[in-house]
Amino acid sequence: MVAGRPVRMSRKPAPKGFAAPIGRARPLHEEVVDRLRDMIIEGVIPAGERLHEINLSETLNVSRTPLREALKLLANEGLVELLPGRGARVSQLTPEGVGELFEVIAGLERLAAELAASRMTARDFERLRRMHDRMAVHFEAGERQDYFALNHQIHLAIVAAARNGTLTATHAALMVKARWGRYSALASAERWAEAMSEHNALMAALEQRDGRLAGDILCKHDRRTGETTEQMLKAANGPVG
């Protein structure tokens, strides 16, 4: 037992691999950033939770220096709030913030789908198809974490297939919080099934190279994800007044 209060994880079991100490294959602070980012997005460390450096250092088997570097980067991404003289805590999604975020994401990804439909190569589409088919298998098996990982890669692949550097950079700057919202929305079984159906329709539109239809589908898909996440946050926060 280390000094201070341990980091309180959610009651659900931590996803496979989170309990293992950080490895050394990449620069250490990058490994720490990736691990903590996933733990926050997937709810292993809850929103609003204080992040105690001593306990996190022991859990991840790293010193406090790379941990502090990682927390600064996560603060830049909006996942962590730095508290002057008091450490850091996980940020909290708000219904208003989620609504604004997914309005922008929906517009960007509509454009990406429209451009990708005409610009993607046959190889691009086949790679996308393979990812989609694997994601469908995870959906049928109820494997949310594996589904989510592929879902994220599919959204990135569509943006990359648009072949517009400005669009890619703008999208990347918003994707961390968008991933957080998307993972939260998958907690709704109804929304998860709906989202899988929307991805099926999106693949059909892209296969037909129908950019307008693909853009409409992806835009509505993102809007629905934002709406679901907003509703869940409002329900969790309870009525005001």
Residues 111 and 188 occupy one common structural domain:
yes
Domain span at 121:
95-237
User: CB atoms < 10 A from the CB of 169, how many?
Assistant: 9
Residues 107 and 138 occupy one common structural domain:
yes
Residue 233 domain-assigned?
yes
Which amino acid, one-letter code, is at 58?
E
- Residue that terminates a domain, selected from 73, 90, 107: 90
pLDDT at residue 2, rounded to an integer? 39
Residues 103 and 77 occupy one common structural domain:
no
Residues 57 and 128 occupy one common structural domain:
no
- Read off the CATH number of the domain in which 45 is found: 1.10.10.10
Residues 103 and 81 occupy one common structural domain:
no
Residue 10 domain-assigned?
no
Residue 228 domain-assigned?
yes
pLDDT at residue 6, rounded to an integer? 47
Q: How far apart are CA 203 and CA 180, in angstroms?
A: 24
Residues 202 and 131 occupy one common structural domain:
yes
Residues 133 and 228 occupy one common structural domain:
yes
Residue 5 domain-assigned?
no
pTM (two decimals): 0.77
Residues 83 and 196 occupy one common structural domain:
no
Residues 133 and 185 occupy one common structural domain:
yes
- Residue that terminates a domain, selected from 40, 61, 90: 90
- Read off the CATH number of the domain in which 146 is found: 1.20.120.530
The residue among 58, 59, 61, 66 whose CA lies nearest residue 27 is: 66
Residue 120 domain-assigned?
yes
Residues 39 and 131 occupy one common structural domain:
no
Residues 6+ apart with CB under 8 A from 239: none
In the numeric block, the tokens 């703008």 are attached to 170
Residues 166 and 227 occupy one common structural domain:
yes
Residues 122 and 86 occupy one common structural domain:
no
- Residue that terminates a domain, selected from 40, 59, 90: 90
In three-state form (DSSP H/G/I as H, E/B as E, the rest C), the secondary structure along 41-88 is: HCCCCCCCCEECHHHHHHHHCCCHHHHHHHHHHHHHHCCEEEECCCEE
How do the pLDDT tens digits run along the chain, 241 residues long? Answer: 334 444 554 445 544 444 455 555 566 878 899 899 988 888 888 888 999 888 888 888 898 889 999 999 999 888 999 988 788 999 888 899 999 999 999 999 999 999 999 999 999 999 999 999 999 999 999 999 899 999 999 999 999 999 999 999 999 989 888 888 888 887 888 999 999 999 999 999 999 999 999 999 999 999 999 999 998 888 876 654 4
Residue 18 domain-assigned?
no
Domain count, the chain: 2
